Chains A and B, each alone.
Chain A
Amino acid sequence: MPLIETPDGPIWKRRTTKEQFIRWFIWLIAIAIIAYAWKGISDKTIWFFVQDAPRQAADIGARMIPPKFSYMSRLWAPVWDTLNIATLGTVIALVIAVPVAFAAAHNTTPHPIVRTIAIFIIVSSRSVNSLIWALMLVFIFGPGVLAGTIAIGLRSVGFCAKLLYEGIEEIDHTQVEAIEATGATKAQQMLFGIVPQVLPTFAGIGVFRWDINIRESTILGLVGAGGIGLELSGSINTLAWTQVSMILLVILSTVIVSEWVSAKVRGAII
């Protein structure tokens, strides 16, 4: 036991000697695994290319300067597409996520089976990256903005629903109880007891996800799902490095603006 009686009085230690040994042993194993994995990576790396990397990077960097500002005239439309993909995708996601979240939360689910289905929807949406959703949807809907929007929407459903149902589970139950005690129906209890409590969470999640989706939608074009990524992949494939740097600048400023907007909105809600 941590408390050891000695002639000089009791001594307290955080752990017993045995616990201490076990912990050291676990650390030893963890470090050994890392060292082994490091060696595996090292063996499969062609070190010549790595040594060459700084020179290559400097070379591409030099070709990127100066960015081709005149190219901007062709970028406005894809940037607008990107923003639309992110915004509409988020809206679709929120519309689907709300009922899913209420079905998934312990305290609002109508039935354990419904809850299982809702959790399954959340997990399957979250387990597939939006790029992969887009890849599949391009086959289904053909290339373009629609595939990108739905990809973003499907990917975001799980994220929004998960955070929202956790928010629903954390509400103060006595407020709901008080509404229940007035003789209100289940639907009214939700309306007066639960919705006011989760509304700020809901708005926060929506804005947060929109912010993430702006970034995700910039690369969807790589698989043909519309937006600025389409221009990016075209420019890389034709080795037009000054256009690439221009696009990167545009993406950077879009993300900064979205970050600023979401910070403002979240500040206003909470």
Chain B
Amino acid sequence: MLRLEGLKKRYKTGDYALQGVDLEIPDGQVIALIGPSGAGKSTLIRCVNRLVEPTEGKVYLGDLELTTLSSSKLRKARRRMGMIFQEYALVERLTVMENVLSGRLGYVGFWASCFRKFPKKDIQEAYRLLDRVGLMHMADKRADELSGGQRQRVGICRALIQDPDLLLVDEPTASLDPKTSRQIMRLINELCKERGLAAIINIHDVLLAQMYSQRVVGLKLGEIVYDGKPDGLNPAVLTNIYGEEDWEATIEEVDEDELVEDEVEEATV
């Protein structure tokens, strides 16, 4: 379980990116974090694993308070939080396998990682994950040879091999085409279900947010302005989050049957 209490972040320029965010995410819940650019979505998830240092407030992962941890304890805590990035953030010149295994760096020593001597168990898990996302045959390719969707799958494997309790997902589909976006979102969703993972997914696409989350949180200027069910998003709520616009075309009743059907064609791309 993740709990944020009065989380604030002020950047050097003096602007508050987050102005006191309280949020509680139970185990296994997938939430979508929506909001306009500059609302503080990225800052929020980066404050959780302290890639960005929060200015004020507390972050609890289970019973562990993260904001005051020493750097070595923080590293241990980071192993429990997998992160997935917008531009995939794979190390381009390393192979797919090396990228996946880099998710285990928190568990292996410096020299072992230098000579790529990862434990057998990790390597087997890496192959299992690559097989799960349909990239077994790409294991020895260099990351820069992959397409966008494939790269994001490798990014997902890297996060999952950490065996995390929580996924922090920053705009996973922003660089992908609509079809691949759906596939990636569905994959993240399925994997969270399989493993009982909680996830915070930053996402621009309101429709995707509705389709693939159990709960939607709307952020505006560093404050939570909506927190509720995906189907609770109506024109009034969206206007509150994003500002005035014709929202009718964006909101769609999500058909449960269609979701299930989609899952079948999954592994092909």
Interface residues of A (CB under 8 A from B): 172, 174-175, 177-185, 187-188, 191-193, 196-197, 199-200
Contact = CB atoms under 8 A, between A and B. Distances in A.
B93 interface: yes
Interface string B148-191: 00000001001000100000100000000000000000000000
B162 A188 contact: no
A178 B158 contact: yes
A179 B91 contact: yes
Interface in B178-233: none
B113 A178 contact: no
Given A181-B51, A182-B158, A188 B105 contact: yes
A39 to B, nearest CB: 55
B75 A184 contact: yes
A178 B83 contact: yes
A182 B106 contact: yes
Given A177-B51, A188-B110, A192-B105, A182 B91 contact: no
Contacts of B110: 185, 187-188, 191
Nearest to B75: A183
Contacts of B105: 179, 182-185, 188, 192
Interface size on B, as a range, is: 20 to 34
B106 A178 contact: no
Contacts of A197: 91-93
Contacts of A192: 91, 94, 98, 102, 105, 113
B113 A188 contact: yes
B154 to A, nearest CB: 11
A182 B162 CA distance: 7
Nearest to B74: A183
18 contacts: A172-B92, A174-B87, A175-B90, A175-B92, A181-B82, A181-B83, A183-B79, A183-B105, A183-B107, A183-B162, A184-B75, A184-B105, A185-B110, A188-B110, A191-B110, A192-B94, A193-B91, A199-B93
A188 B106 CA distance: 9
B223 to A, nearest CB: 25
